[in-house]
Structure formats: C-alpha cells, structure tokens
Amino acid sequence: MTTPLVEARAALEAAGHLPDAELDIAMVALQFARVDQPAADWRAAQQHLSDIARAAVEAAAADREADAGDVARRRAALAELLHGRFGYAGDADTYDDLSNANLLKVIERRRGLPVALGILWLHAADAAGWEAHGVDFPGHFLVALSGRGQVVVDVFGGGAPLDARDLRALLKRFAGETAELGRDTLAPMSKRGVLLRLQNNIKVRRLRDGDLSGAVACTEDMLRIAPDAAPLWREAGLMHQRLGHVTAAIASLERFLELVPDGPQAGRVRGLLEELRHRLN
C-alpha cells in the first residue's frame, strides 16, 4: 500500500520531469507540505486552492478593465480576493515558524512567509489568465503582475503596490544602506525557482536549529523537482558527509561532478570524494 509520504514524493519526482511552464506551482507546493505533514487533510487544502482559482476566474470576468490589462486593477482584485475575502496575511509575529513555509499550514492558519503567500498570488493570477511571476528580491519575496505595464506587489504586506522609492527603501532594509536598485534586483523567477526558495526557508531553519537530518531530507526533496540543480547536490553531499552517510555523500557528490565537471569547486569535490572512497576500502 502506498503511503502519503511515498505518494507525495512520487508527485514531486513527476514534477521534476515537467517543463517549468507546465508546473502547477500551488499543487507542487502542496506536495512539499504533505511530506512534512503526511497525516494532514491535504484534499481539503486542494479544494481550497480550487476555490481560490474559481474566485479568481470570477474576478477577472467581473472587471473588464483588469482583464484587458490594467495592472493596477489586477493587483486590487487579487489583493481583495486573497487578503480580503480569504483573509491571508503575512506572519510578522512568528515569522520563523516552519508552519509559515508549509502550504498546508499556511492555508489552515491563513498566515505565511512572503514566498508562501506569493505562491497563492501566482496560483490566483494564473487561474485568472493574468501574467505574473515571482521576483527574486533580496530578503523579501515579491510578485510582479504584467499587462499594460507592470506592478510589483508586496504580498506579505497585504498586496500593497511598490514604486521605485518603496523598493529602494525595502532593499536598504534587507541589504544595507549602501545597496541600490540594479538590473538584477527585480529579476523574474521561474516557478521552480519560487518553489526552491520556499523550501530553502525550511532547510535554512532546520540547519539553524541543528536538525541536519531534516535539512538533508529537505534538500533531497528539492532535488526531486530540480534534478539538475548542481549546488543542491553538493550541499546534500556535504550534509551526508557530516552525518557519516558515506555512500549517500559519494552518490550526491558524483552527481554534482556530472553537472559541474570543471572549476575550483569541482576540484575540491574530487578531493573530498577520494577521501570518502578511501573510507569505504
């Protein structure tokens, strides 16, 4: 009999074979959440995502200007839907709680990290047929809506629009007073990139709390949807090494070298592999 954990990880692996454009970002995030909450009622959360999608379709049909490309009206419609009707908000009080990065818990609590809330925004925008993407902003995930122009949205702050002055102030808050907006500051993210940023929050918090086994498990789940992410293979290998999982460390580092055969890191990994293989002899 297939367990919920095995089922969720199989779904993640299937997603790993899909082109980025074909990923259902909210459903993949839900499978990540199932891994950590295998006993939770994920079908109820799936129905809630369907409710959000249906409401977004209705909102698009009800606002001709928004549907024709007015990005300000699109932002207002999605903010009213997600933060008004469904009651979502950023969790500033218990920001580092792992629940804020688990979509099952986010849906249950209506609270989450910027990237978790952003996934719901991207899900709703996609259902409405409106172009949107995640923004890889330093320290604070944002969403950009496109149409006739573009608007950048602070999904953690109730869906507020951010102009250049707001973005500059936000950047200085997270990156320091000398930081300035540049070409890469508002770089668009792929769906995979957004999902990896979501899970990276979990990995980092587990490492901070000394849960190395949990961190490596999270990393390996990230690799299920991004099997060619070389840095993650290296991270997994180093964590397995620290845990004394020599065979697993070797497998992960060998995969890294398949993806990155040259360069300084490749040289260091080869040296580490030689040491690890020596331990097996």
Q: What is the pLDDT of residues 27-80, one digit of tens each?
A: 999 999 999 999 898 999 999 999 999 999 999 999 999 999 999 999 999 999
- Predicted local confidence at residue 118, as pLDDT: 98
Domain range holding 262? 228-280
Whether residue 129 sits in one domain with residue 232: no
Q: Is residue 176 part of a domain?
A: no
With respect to residue 115, please indicate whether it lies within any of the assigned structural domains.
Answer: yes
29 and 157 share one domain = yes
Q: Are residues 103 and 239 in the same domain?
A: no
**153 and 48, same structural domain?**
yes
Confidence class for position 1, pLDDT limits 50, 70, 90: low
| One domain for residues 243 and 104 | no
Question: How many domains does one find in the chain?
Answer: 2
What end-to-end distance do the CA atoms of the chain give, in Å? Answer: 38
Same domain assignment for residues 115 and 235: no
Helix axes 230-243 and 212-225, enclosed angle (nearest 10): 150
Is 281's pLDDT higher than 80? no
- Please indicate, yes or no, whether residues 159 and 265 belong to a single structural domain of this protein: no
Per-residue model confidence as pLDDT tens digits over 142-182: 999 999 999 999 999 999 999 999 999 999 998 899 888 88
SS3 content of the chain, % helix, strand, coil (to 5): 65, 10, 25
Based on the domain organization, do 262 and 160 belong to the same domain?
no
pLDDT digits (tens, 9 = 90+) for 16-31: 999 999 999 999 999 9
- Average of per-residue pLDDT values in the chain: 96
CB-based contacts of 59-67 (< 8 A; 24+ apart in sequence): 59/128, 60/128, 60/129, 60/130, 66/130, 67/128, 67/129, 67/130
